[in-house]
């Protein structure tokens, strides 16, 4: 396979994410939809929390901070992603000038 073909083979958002976050070039592509991936992870987390904290009040006291943390991580990485997209778009525009 040619070098150019290798570039296009890696042209996948998950591959780019892995490289940017972890410096890893190869990863398995998860073919599930975003919703399926989120639901599977969510199900595992809530199942574990319910098994460790069966009391509803205790569960709420534990799950609240976990969900707050998750929301903060989501917001931060969304902002970083938007900034990265803008920088990439500017670099592409410079190539066409």
pTM, two decimal places: 0.64
pLDDT tens for each residue of 17-29:
777 888 876 667 8
pLDDT at 26: 67
Question: In the chain, count of helices (H) and strands (E)?
Answer: 4, 0
Give residue 91's Cα distance to chain centre. Answer: 23
Torsion sign, CA atoms 44, 46, 35, 15: negative
At residue 65's C-alpha, the angle toward residues 59 and 68, to 5°, is 130
**Mean pLDDT, range 26-51, rounded to an integer:** 90
At 5 the three-state DSSP class reads helix
């Amino acid at each position: 396979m040619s070098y150019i073909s290798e570039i296009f083979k890696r042209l996948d958002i998950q591959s780019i994410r892995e490289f940017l976050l972890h410096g890893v070039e190869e990863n398995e592509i998860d073919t599930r939809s975003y919703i399926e991936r989120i639901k599977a992870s969510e199900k595992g987390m809530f199942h574990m929390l319910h098994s460790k904290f069966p009391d509803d009040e205790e569960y709420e006291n534990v799950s609240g901070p976990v969900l707050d943390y998750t929301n903060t991580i989501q917001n931060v990485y969304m902002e970083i992603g938007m900034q990265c997209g803008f920088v990439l778009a500017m670099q592409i525009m410079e190539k066409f000038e």
